[in-house]
Amino acid sequence: MKLVSYLTEGHDRVAILVDGLLYDAEVLHPDLPTNMSMFLAYWEDSYSMALAGEMMIKEGKIAKSKGIAYDSVTILAPVPFPTSCRDGYAFRQHVEAARRNRKVPMIPEFDQYPIFYFTNHHSIQGPGDIQCMPDHLEKLDFELEVAIVISKPGRNIRAEDADEYIGGLMIMNDMSARRLQMEEMLLNLGPAKGKDFSTVIGPWLVTLDELQQYEVPTKEGHTGKSFNLRMQCRVNGKQVSDGNMKDMDWTFAEIIERASYGVNLNPGDVIGSGTVGTGCFLELNGTGKLNDPNYVEQWLQPGDVVEMEVDGLGVLSNTIVQEEDDFSLFARKKSV
C-alpha cells in the first residue's frame, strides 16, 4: 500500500495511491483518520481499514470516479509533521570511501554499533522546490537515502522485535550545505546549520506488505529485515549515484534498538538510513580527486533538478531554488 499526504483547502490529508489515482481516507472508510499524524497514532486500526479499502478499489467496489488524479494536487511529504527526525550512518561503503578520501583509516567503531544524529523535523518537505539561502549554495549537496517512520510507541525495543514498529519505507534526500557543515564541525558539534534547512522525504510511504517481494537475507551477524532495492540519483537527467539498500550494514531494526534505548519512540518519528555508497557529491568529488588531480568538483546549483529513484518506492523530484534574501552568516564571522 502506498500512503500519500496531499494539500487541500489549507489542510494535509492522507490518501492511498492506486493506478495513478488518490483515494482519500474518507472515501476508504468513514472511521479512518484524515491525516497522516492521526493515521500513525492509530496505526493498527488505520492500516487494516485502509488495506481493506485498497482491496475494494481493486475489486471495483469503490469506483474510480472517487479517485483524484495524483498530478492534480499538491503532494506533501508522506509524513508532513514528524514528531522527530533521526538520520543513521548505516552504509559502510559510504563511510569507508569518505574516510579514504580524507586519507584517514576506517574507524573500527563503525562495525560495533549503529549511530545517528537528530535533524530539524520542522524542515521536512516533500517533492518540489528546495529554498536555499546564499550560504547553503556554498557546496550544496544531496544525500541519497531510504527512511522509515515509526508506527507504534515503544521503549528499549530489541532488534529482534523492531521491524514490527516500522510503518513503511520512503525515499529520503538529506540535503547538506557542506561549507556550513564542515566549518561548524571544526568545533566538534553539528552538523546543525549544514543540515537543518531541508530534509526531503517522499513521494509516498510504502508499507512493508508491498515490499515482501524485495526481501533478501540480512548480512551475517545482523538482525532485521533487508531489502534488495536499487537506489539511484540523477541531477538534471544525468545519473550520478547507483547503490542498493541491501548494502546497509546496520539494519533499521538495529538502529531502532539503539535509538529507543532508555527513550520513548513515538508514532511519526522518522529515521533515515544514512547515505548509500556513491550517494552524494562529497563522496563522489573526493573519489574523483583521489583518482585524478584535475578532477572538477560538482555541487548543486540553482535550477538543478534532483531526482531520486528507489525500486518499489518511486521517484522523488526536487528543484533547487535560491531565495532572494542575500543575508550571509559567513560574512558575519568574527576575525581572529
The pLDDT of residue 328: 98
DSSP track, 116-148: EEE--GGGEE-SEEEEE-GGGGTTEE--EEEEE
- In this model, does residue 303 exceed pLDDT 90? yes
Q: Are 32 and 22 in contact (CB under 8 A)?
A: no
The pLDDT of residue 84: 98
d(CA 184, CA 336): 16
The pLDDT of residue 336: 78
Domains present along the chain, CATH in parentheses: 2-75 (no CATH), 84-334 (3.90.850.10)
- Angle at 100 (CA atoms; ends 311, 120), nearest 5 degrees: 55
Please report where in the chains the cell 517481494 appears, as a residue: 213
d(CA 234, CA 224): 30
Question: And the C-alpha cell for 183?
Answer: 566549518
pLDDT tens-place string over residues 281-292: 999 999 999 999
Residues 140-147, mean pLDDT to the nearest whole number: 98
pLDDT tens-place string over residues 216-272: 999 999 999 999 999 999 999 999 999 999 999 999 999 999 999 999 999 999 999
pLDDT tens-place string over residues 86-117: 999 999 999 999 899 888 999 999 999 999 99
- In this model, does residue 333 exceed pLDDT 90? yes
- Angle at 62 (CA atoms; ends 311, 150), nearest 5 degrees: 45
Name the residue type at position 113: Y
- Short-list 264, 199, 202, CA closest to 12: 202
pLDDT tens-place string over residues 183-196: 999 999 989 999 99
